[in-house]
Structure formats: structure tokens, C-alpha cells
Structure 1
Amino acid sequence: MNSRREPTFGPPPSEAPDPDTIRADFRPRRPPPPPPRPLWPWLLGLGLLVGVGGGVYLFRESLADRLLPSTRHAQLMEEAAVALAEGRLSAADGRGARELYTAVLALNPDHAQAREGLRRVAQAALAQARARLDAGDREGAREMLALARTLAVPAPELAPVENELRRLESEESELGRLLSAADDARRAGRLDGGADSALALYRQALAAAPDSAIARAGLQAVLADLLRTAAERLDAGDQDGALMLVQRVEAIDAAHLDLPPLKARLSEFQAGQGQHRSEALAAADAARREGRLSEARDGYRAILAVEPEDNRARQGLEQVAAALAQQAVRAAADFDFETAEARLVEAREIAPGHPAIRDAEARLLQARARASTVEEAPLASSPQVLRLLEEAERAAAARRFVDPPGDSAWDILRNARALAPNDERIYAAMEALVPRARRCVEDDMAANRLSQAGECLEAIVAMNPNEPTLPELRRRLAERWIGRAEERLGAGELGEAERAYRAAQGIEPNHAGLPALAARIEQARLARPR
């Protein structure tokens, strides 16, 4: 039997003292006081608490990011980054980058990434201000500058864009003034011709603002007005005025849409005027050759009134003056001094300093002196008349039928007739001159000496304008000149063809072959390389 005894806590219940037997004066013994505790644990705990609190404060953002990765400000930061990348820097609905970063800072004022985001928004605003200014969007540039200024972009960085904006606004104000003044000038009809004209003001506006659509449209409108005025002048026959305006517009805008049709009209008008002038010149030349000097003079003057620089008309007038001087010489040779003086007066009125006039004046003086000494002598025994007849024969043989004045066969015979009015030999010699000149025309045409044939033809006109064979001679000689012109055209010699055409026109202005020849010459002129 096991005699082991299990341990117990205190005496067994049978051995417990009886509460009734405990003495009344029994008092329990007090435990001894605990020993005093040391202070260092408390100090260590307090230090640890302060350290942990400081670390939490200093690294509160990082701890918040680590401990709360899906908080509201993290979502806002993501949306702000997207808005910044898309260029939505600020928006009234709060979805702009600035507003989103500001919302993050409202949740966490010390959020460093949000502050960096606002800095990038500020720089983006400055960049957009510069880009919008370059694109001409001044209002947009002002908005972006205001945003950049709000986000505390440094003043030195803002200054270049702000200065450029102020300069452009100043130019815009000046541009508005110029455009207003140009509009007023156009309405007042001052299109061109001074610094205050519409054309000058619009051009000045374009120089200040080359991209101004309003200034460019205004300039185009003024040029169109000038071309309309040119068309009106052309309708009124003012070729020079129309040409001046067309050249003015072409110098400013050679590609103006209204230029080509008006230039075509002007070319047609000039061609018509040229044809009309050519016909008028031919008529005046014919009148001069046929001795109708007053008609020739008036024709040349009419041409010069329209075209003051026309050399042919000017030369024609000088030739009329020379012809009048020749008539004065012939009248003086007949001792008709009154007629000679009248012709010289007409010649001086046309060309006062012409050499032929001075020569005629000298011959008139000689004739007056000769008239005072001439005495009528018996015809049969007059050696002077015989000498004159011989001189006239030599002049006719040399083809000096009417030129030079005073030494021609015609003038010599007239002098002889003045000495012996009744001498039949003189009249016979004078009548023989026209047939001899006619043979001269025929011979020269046969030998293709057309210029010399024309001189002989002119001699016939001077001696007898009513010669019956003159129309046929004119027609034939004109045809020869037309043939030469066509031949020269075929050889590509346009200048020679034009000279032959003018010669034919001067001989027979109404010849049926002239219009077709003129058309061919014009076609050749247009086809010629410039």
C-alpha cells in the first residue's frame, strides 16, 4: 500500500481552526512596505514615447501613404496628373490640374507631391501663355499668364511674355486706328494718292500686322475699286488713265483676280487704238503726199492730241512744214510773193525752226531781188530762157522732177514761165514731166525699187494731183508693198514686214489687202518671244 501523501494547500479541513474558537483580540499581521521603485524606467518610457511621436509627426505623410494607399488624396493625385498631361491646367468644374492638386493639399497641407504638381502646373501655364501668344490668341495668353501669376511663377520668368503681350496689344490698338482711318478714306473716295489715302493706310496696317485678315481684305477691296475706276476710264476712252491705274494695282498685287480681264480689255482697246492710229497716220500721210497739206496737218495734230509721243505723227507735221516751205519757194519763183509769205507763216506755226523754212526765207529774198532786175526780153533771142530749158532737161533726166525745191525740173520751168509766160516750149516741157515721172514709176516697180517708185509717184501728185493714171498707179504700187510685207513675214523679218505694211498703207489706205496683212502682223508680234 502506498504510503505517499499528496501535497495540500494549508491544513486539512479537519484541522482548520474553528472560527468560534478564535480569540477576539486577534489582529492580522501587516505586510512589510514594498521597497521604493527606481525612476529610470519611467524616464525611458517617456523618451520612447516622445521619439515615436516625433517620428510619426515627421514621417506622417510617408506613413499615411504606406498605411492608407487608397485614400481620397491618392485618387485626386492620379486625376491631377492626368489633367496636367492633357493640358487641362484649370477648369471651372474643379477637374483641372490646379484644382485637383489644391484639393489634395486641402486634405494634406504638407503633401510634397501635390506641391510639386502645382509647380509643374505653373510652368505649364507659362508655356501655354507663350504658345497662345505665338498663335495670336491674346485672350488665351492673358488667361494663362493670370494662372501662372496666381501659382507664384517668379516675375522674371513672366516678364518676357507679359512684355510681348503688352507690345502686341499696343500694336493692335494702332492697327485699329489705321483700319478705321482706311475705312473712312475709302468711303470718302480717297483711294490712292497720298499718305491719308485708303491704299496707303491699308498697306501701313499690313506692314504692322502682316497676318491681319481685315487689313488684307481692305487692301483687296481698294485694289478692286481702283480697277473698277480703270474700267470706267477705259469705257470713256481714257487709255492712259486706265493704264496708269492697272499698272498701279499690278505693282502692288500682280495676282489680283480682277487684273487679267481688265488687262485683256486694255490690250484689245490698245490694239483697236493702234489700228485706228495707223489708219489715221496713213490718211494724213496720203493727204501730205497728195498736197492736201491742211488736211494732213489736222490729221497729225489729232493723233498727237491722243498720243503726244507718237514720233510718226510728229515727223509728219515736220514734213508738212517742209512741204509748205517748198510751196513758198515755188510761189516765190513765180514771183507770187503774197502766196509765198502765207505759206511761210503756216510753216512757222507748225515747226518754227525747221531748216526748210530758213532755206525758203533765203530763196524768197533772192526772188524779190531777181524780180526787181528782171526785164522782159524777146523770146526767140532770150538766152536765159534757153538756159533754163536746158537745166530743166538735165534735172528731169536725173529724176529731180519736184525735189529739191528750186533746183527741180518743175521749179526751173516755173521760173522760165515767169520770164516768158507765152513761150510754148516751156509749157510743152512742163507737160512732158508727168509722163516721164509715170515711166519712172513703171521702171522702178519693174526693177523692184519700190521706194524710188514712190518718190516718182509723189512727183506726179505734186505736178498734177488730178492725173487720171494716179489711182491705178497707187493700187499697183501698194500691192507690191503688200507682197513684200508678206514675203518678209514668211522670212520671220517682222520689222521689215511692218515697214512694208506702212508704206502700202501710206500709198493706198483703203486697199482691200491691208486688213488681212495687219492681222497676220499682229499674230506674228504676239507669237514673238519676249
Structure 2
Amino acid sequence: MPEPVTPREPLASASTRARAAHADASQRRRGWWIATGVLAVVLALVVVVRLFLVDRLWPETRAQALLDDAAAATAAGRLSTSDGDGARQLYEAALALDPDDVRPRAGLADVARAAVAQAASAVEAGRFDDAHAALRLASELSAPREHVDAVASALRQREAAGAGLDRLVAEAQAAQAVGNLDADHGSALPLYRRVLALQPDNADALRGREDALAALLDDARRRLREGGLREAADLIARVREYDAGHVDLPDTEARLTEELDALRSRAARSLEAGSVERAVAEWRTLLAFDPNDARAQRGLHDAGAAYARRAERFARDFNFADAGAQLREARALAADSEAVRTAGEHVERSRARHARLGPQLPPAERRQRVDTLLQQAVAAEARGDLLTPPGDSAYDKIRAARLVAPDDPAVARASARLLPSARECFDAGLRANSLARARACLDAREVLGDAGSAVRDARRRLAQRWLAIGDERLGAGNLVGAEAALASARDIDAGVPGHMEFGRRLRAASLNR
């Protein structure tokens, strides 16, 4: 008898069929991948052949295509576009491929002529912005000058006819009458410029501009007389922008040059006379005008050395507060100066010596030191050096004596003898409007023992004078100078009446600038 069939045979047959189906599916997938790869290779070859064989080996084909496209763009009136499809851009691309090819140059000349024609059509149609753009293109492509000028003249006439020039001139004259020359677009000079751009021979606009510029130059010369070099230079530059050929411009520029030279000379004389603070202010004014002024830079370096010498004199008298202040000024101006470095070493040596000897200074040596300082003070008074120069004045010698022996009767008598001169010095400084000198004399009055109420009253007067100067500077538009004046007033008398209201005005002016 045959053996019975087991259940495993149907299972084996099903497994074989599944493996065959899976193999067929895998084969089909491989076929798709192969086909896709072949297609990609073919496309790549097409691109390579196009780029490297046609464009590289036969660039004439690419250039001809650009020339054809450019000619079509010219015919369509698409002369220049930002996306590179304009006739100009296409001809320039063809020229870049072959700079020796004359055809792109001829095409650009055609574009220039077409731009003139477009500008003329735009003028007739009243499309003035389009006309301006077309004329710019024609000029950039070197269209015949006479053709461009003819269309530009027609454009100005058409614009002038529709711009209401008489109204603009009237507005400019009204602004000029109230002194509004160049503050904004509604000022006289900007309005005159608009008129003259449309009608260059407008007699009223030319005359008005001439008078307005003459007024600005008058203001510049006034600023020069007052020492406002930066403001004067700005005014001169504005005049040059409107009319570089103005008849008064060369003379005013020459005055500016003369004033700069005179200020350099004054700064040098101030330094030689020992007025270091004044010299520094003058050198800094020059540097604010021209940061590269070599003479002013050297002047500040020399002023640093002068401060260093002052520091040494103060240190010899054991007046280390003033010595330190002078040394800080010296380092700020000339940190790399050998004189400043040496002065710093001298001050430190004097400080160390005072630390060793000061508290234990024998009475006889203290008496000798005080007598020497008082004798030097008398000699300085005889020379007329009551409060200057710093370090060698009678005031400095008496102050040094007070540091050594604050309760010495001879020092008190010397202080009382010098006090009237300090008061007179303060009053003279106020009368001459020399407020820095007045401040130094006020400090001297305080050190020399002037009455507290008198010093407080003097501080209030000096602070009020600084506020008045700040108000003048604010009215002239000098915001930096006005802010400095306010700071000086508050430093002298923090409660001076009017300082808060002036501060608010100054902030408002700064925000509206």
C-alpha cells in the first residue's frame, strides 16, 4: 500500500511559491532602479554636452542667443530692467563673453538712441519720472549730447509749466523774509534750488539765492569772530553745496583759514605764558575742527608736560591733592611722555618722604619750612603773581604753608593779606566774563578763609553767569556748549535758581534736533 501523504508537503509547496514571488518582485525593483540610473546618466550627459561642448567650445552660439534676445528687448521697449532681461543687460552680457565683438557695442548704441526716443515720448505724455529715468539711461550709454540736452530742456520746460514756479518763488521769498534760510524743505534755499532745477535762468530765484547765501556767509563770519570755528565751517560748507561760485565764498574761506592760524598762535602763546588750561581749550577747539591737526596734537602733548611740571612743584610743597590733580591732567594729555613719567616718580618720592617725616616733623624744621613758604609768597606778591602761575603763586605758597602748619598765626596773617586780592580777582573775572579764572579765584577765597556767606553769594553769582552763557549757546543752536555750561553751573552751585527749567529746555531742544 502507498504511504499516506503528510501535511508538511502542502506547506513546503506554499513556501517555495512565496520565495519565487519575492524574487520576482526584487528583480522588478532592480529593473526600475537601473532604468532610473540610466535616465539620470543620460540627462547628465545632455547637460554636460550643452554646457561644456556647446557653450564652451562654441561660445558664438551663446553670444548670438544673447544678441537676439537683446534685439527683441530693444524692439519691445524693454531697455533696462533690474532682473537682467533688459536690452542693456543682455548686450552687456554678450560683450562680457567676447569684449572684441563689435555687435554688442553697436546694440548698446541702439539702446541709447531708443532711450532718447523713450524720454521724448514720456515728456509728450507728461510722464516726467519715466522721462528722467530714460534720460539717465541715455546719458549712461553715451547717447549724443545734443539729443539728450534737447529732450532735457523740453522736460524742464514742461515740468516748470506744471510746477507752479511763481508759487515756489513766493514761498521761498516768504521764508527768507523771516530768516528761515536752510532749516528744512520749506526753507528759502531748498525752494530756490527746486525752482532753479526746473528753470535755471529764473531771475527771482537766482537773486533770492544770492542774498540768502550772502546772509549765511555773514553769519559764518560772525561765528568766526566769536570763536565758533565748527559752526562757521558748517555754514561755509552749506553755501558751497548750493553755489560753489558765490562771490563772497573765497573771502570767507580765507577768513576761516586765518582764524585757524590765529588760534594756533594764541594757543602757543597761552602755553608759553603758563595759561595751560586756556592753551588746552584752544588746542581742543582746533582738534574738534580737524582731528588730524598735527600742530594741535603736539600742543596737547606739550601741555601735558606743563601739567607734569606743575605736579612736581605741588609735590615739593607736600600739596599732594593738587599734585595728583595736575598729574592726572598730564597723563590724560601725554601718557607716553618722559616728562610725565618722571613727574609721577617725583610725586611718589615726595609722598613717601612726607609719610616718613610729616607727623614727626620737628618743630624747628616745621618752622623753617613755613618761613620759607611765606617768604616765597611775599616774593610772588612782589612780582604780581598773586594767584598765578599755578604752583609758584603767592596763593599756592600760602596754601602749602597752611598744610604744614594750619594754626600758625603768621600763615593766618598772610592769608588775610592775600584775601582782598582774591576777591578782586573774582570780581574782575566776572566783569571780563572769564569764568574759569573767576572759579579759580573763588576757590582761593575759600581756602584763604573768606566768610562762608560771602563765598556762598559768590558761588551763586558765578553759577548764574554760567546759566546765562548756556542760554546764549542754546539760542545759537550750540547744544554741546549749552550742556557744558549747565554742568559748570550745577558744579559751582547745585541749587542755582533756574537750572532745572534750563535743563528741561535743553533736553527738549536735543530731542527736536
Mark yes or no: TM-score above 0.5: no
Larger Rg: 1
What is the TM-score with the length of structure 1 in the denominator?
0.31
What is the TM-score with the length of structure 2 in the denominator?
0.32
Considering Cα pairs closer than 8 Å and 6+ residues apart, tell me whether 1 or 2 has the greater RCO: 1
